[in-house]
């Protein structure tokens, strides 16, 4: 079992993001413990043989490779290039930032960020934003109350980011794309080549709908 868990570090995962390797290892380990426990085995059944275990491992690798989870470090290349991640708490934002820095070494990022009013937006932004990043904050129409775009702008600015409020997702995307084009070559090389859209699954939904031409 131990050698297989070690093998996961180089396995081909369908889910992107550094934190997904940790998630995969935890899921596989928990599943194996359950399947190998005597309590989970049907009455009269025999324990797994070595051959059974190897077959199970191959099925596990296929499952991990084919797994999809929309809105979790999802690479979008339809209409525009972006990474969609519904990180909406401090730990999620920390994991997202770590994955971004692993994928894009020594880069800044263009963010589109919005969150619900009940979220701890300041600690989310502390984990997510670094000096030099650029943040566009759309006002979203939703049944639940959204955090004021201006509050997000003000706090992101205090963290050393450039920030701007926008009337909606379409405008935020327009401004972000224009900003990417306006950056001098010397600065553009310091930014990742994808927008980062995060803070709320409601925002992720709008981004996906927009990319499909729904809005």
pLDDT digits (tens, 9 = 90+) for 138-168: 998 777 899 999 999 999 999 999 999 999 9
Candidate from 60-64, 97-101, 111-115, 204-208 with smallest mean pLDDT: 60-64
How would residue 49 be classed by pLDDT, with cut points 50, 70 and 90? low
The reported pLDDT for the residue numbered 34 is 75
Quickly state the pLDDT bin for 173 (edges 50, 70, 90): very high
Taking 60 as the threshold, does the pLDDT of residue 46 lie above it?
Answer: no
51-55, 140-144, 171-175, 205-209: segment of lowest average pLDDT: 51-55
| Over residues 23-42, mean pLDDT | 69
The length of the chain is 215
Span 79-106, average pLDDT: 93
For residue 174, the SS3 value is helix
Q: Is the dihedral of CA 29, 31, 35, 40 positive or negative?
A: positive
Residue for token pair 């909606």: 168
SS3 110: strand
Residue 175 CA from chain centroid, whole number: 22
Give all domains of the chain, ordered by start, each with its CATH number: 2-66 (no CATH), 74-211 (3.90.190.20)
Find the DSSP H helices in 79-198. Answer: 90-103, 121-128, 149-158, 169-182, 185-188
38 CB burial (10 A radius; 0-12, 13-18, 19+)? exposed
The torsion defined by the Cα of 8, 10, 16 and 21, in degrees rounded to 10, comes to 30
Whether residue 53 has pLDDT greater than 50? yes
Fill in the DSSP letter of residue 146: B
182 confidence band (pLDDT: 50, 70, 90): confident
Left, alpha or beta for 167 (phi > 0: left; psi -120 to 50: alpha)?
alpha
Q: What is the mean pLDDT of the chain?
A: 84
Residue with tokens 């960020």: 113
Please state which of the ranges 38-47, 108-117, 134-143 shows the lowest mean pLDDT: 38-47
Give the pLDDT mean for 59-68.
76
Instruction: State how far Cα 161 lies from the chain centre.
Output: 20
Tokens of residue 142, six digits: 């939703």
Q: In the predicted model, is pLDDT for residue 35 greater than 80?
A: no
List the helix and strand counts (H, then E) for the chain: 9, 6
Residues contacting residue 173 through CB under 8 Å, at least 6 positions apart: 80, 112, 136, 195, 207, 210
Binning pLDDT at 50, 70 and 90, where does residue 215 land?
very low
Instruction: Judge whether residue 1 has pLDDT over 70.
Output: no
Cβ neighbours around 185 below 10 Å, total: 6
């Amino acid at each position: 079992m131990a050698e297989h868990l070690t093998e996961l570090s180089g396995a081909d995962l369908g889910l992107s993001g550094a934190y997904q390797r940790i998630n995969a290892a935890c899921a596989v380990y928990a599943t194996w413990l359950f399947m190998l426990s005597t309590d989970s085995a049907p009455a009269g059944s025999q324990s797994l043989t070595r051959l059974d275990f190897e077959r199970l491992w191959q099925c596990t690798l296929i499952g991990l490779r084919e797994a999809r989870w929309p809105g979790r470090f999802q690479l979008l290349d339809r209409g525009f290039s972006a990474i969609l991640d519904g990180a909406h708490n401090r730990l999620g934002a920390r994991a997202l930032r770590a994955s971004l820095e692993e994928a894009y070494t020594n880069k800044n990022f263009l963010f589109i960020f919005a969150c619900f009013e009940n979220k701890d937006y300041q600690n989310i932004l502390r984990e997510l934003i670094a000096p030099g990043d650029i943040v566009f904050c759309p006002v979203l129409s939703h049944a639940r109350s959204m955090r004021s775009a201006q509050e997000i702008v003000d706090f992101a600015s205090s963290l050393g980011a450039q920030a701007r409020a926008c009337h909606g997702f379409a405008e935020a995307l327009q401004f972000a794309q224009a900003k990417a084009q306006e950056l001098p070559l010397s600065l553009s090389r310091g930014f990742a080549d994808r927008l980062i859209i995060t803070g709320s699954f409601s925002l992720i939904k709008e981004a996906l709908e927009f990319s499909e031409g729904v809005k």
